[in-house]
Amino acid sequence: MSFTEQLRERAVALGFDGVGFCSAEETRYWDEFLRWLEQGYAGTMQYLPRRCDAYRHPDGVLRGCRSLVMLTLAYHSGPAAPVRPGQGRVARYAQGSRDYHDIIRAKLKQLAEWVRQRQPEARVRGVVDTAPLLEREHAERAGLGWIGKHTLLLGRERGSWFFLAALLTDLILPETSSEVSRHCGTCVACLEACPTDAFVAPYELDARRCISYLTIEHRGPIASGQREGLGDWVFGCDVCQEVCPWNRRAPKAEHPDLLPRADLAPLDLIELLELDEAGFARRFGGTPLERPGRSGMLRNAAIVLGNQRATESLSALKKVLHDDDPVLRGAAAWALGRLATPEARSALESRREVETDPEVQCEIKEALNHPARL
C-alpha cells in the first residue's frame, strides 16, 4: 500500500468520511475574492481583508506547502425538530455538545503526528476554517465535490452537511484524479428560499444579509429592516441546505459529540434571556454558541420572540429591558413593541422615562408606535 493510500486509510480510521488530495496552487478565484471584498460583502468580518494576501496561496498558511489533504466530517442530524413560540432554531452544526473546532483539531493533530512518524522531515499543519485558506476551492480540486450556487461545497453522496478541514504539508502527494464539474443545473431552490435574499447572484453571497452572519458574526444592534427575516433562527441558518436536492441522501453524523443536544434542538429562548454572563459561560462555554457572546445570543433571542409575538416571554423581555447592555435593551424594546400588549406598552413607557442611551430611546419610540394588538 502506498503512503497516500495509508494516509487516506488513517484519516478514515480517525472518523473523516471524505478524503482528497490536491497540489498547493494559487487560487483560481483570487480576482473574484478581491471583488467580493471590495463590494463590502464581508461586512464587519475584518479578519478577511486584513489577511487578504494570505488567502492567495496555501503557502500563506504553511510556508513551502506543496500538497493539501482535504477532509470532510458529516454533521447532519436529520429533520429539524418543530419550533413552538418561545423556542429558537440553532443551525445543525452547532447542536452538539462540543465545539466542532475542538473535535476536528484533535483528529488533525493525530493525523499530522502519523505523517511525522513516517516522514520525520515533513512539515505538516492541520487547519479547520480559522486559517486564511479558501478550503472550498481546494476541496473542489481534491475531488470532494463542487461549489454550489449557495456557495457551499456539494458532493453527490454527501450533499453539503459536513465540515471541511485541511492538512497542509511540504510533501508532494499524488493528486486525487477528478474532473471538476458543477451539478446544480438549473436548480435555484437555495437562492429562492433564502429568507433575507442574501444571494445577490448564483455563487455569490452578501454576508451582510445572511442570517448566519447576522446572528453569529455581527456585533451590536441588527438593523430593524433585517429582523423579521431572522424568523425563528437564534443561531445560524440551515435554509439553503434544507431545500437542496443533493442533501436528500446526505449521511448523518456519527461522532457522539456532534449529535443534537435536546436543549439545543430547539433552544428555550425564555430561559436564555434569564442568563447573566456567568450563567451564559457555564451553559455555552466550549460550544459554537459561545462565539456571539451573551450580548449576541440574547439579542437574537429577543428578536425571535418579537417575530413570534410570544406573549409568554413578556416577563423575561421586561427584565432584559433594564439590562446593562444597551444592545439588549434595544432588542427587548423592539420585541415588546411587537407584542404590543398593554403590559408591554406600559413597560416601554416606564423605561422611556429613565433611558439615557440615544439609540435605545429611538428603539422605544419606534416600539411604542407599533400598532397595538386588539
Contacts of 180-183 with CB under 8 Å at 24 or more apart are 180/140, 180/141, 180/143, 180/146, 181/146, 182/146, 182/147, 182/148, 183/146, 183/154, 183/156, 183/246
What is the per-residue DSSP string for 259-301?
A: SPPTTBTTEEHHHHHT--HHHHHHHHTTSGGGTTHHHHHHHHH
Determine which one of 129, 197, 276, 357 is catalytic. Answer: 129
- Residue 372 CA to residue 374 CA, distance in Å, equals 6
Please give the DSSP secondary-structure letter assigned to residue 325: -
End-to-end CA distance of the chain: 74
What is the per-residue DSSP string for 240-263?
A: HHHT-GGGTTPPPP-SGGGSPPTT
Residues 6+ apart with CB under 8 A from 51: 60, 132
Residues 6+ apart with CB under 8 A from 137: 27, 28, 29, 147
Q: Is residue 324 annotated as part of the catalytic site, yes or no?
A: no
Q: Which residues are catalytic?
A: 129
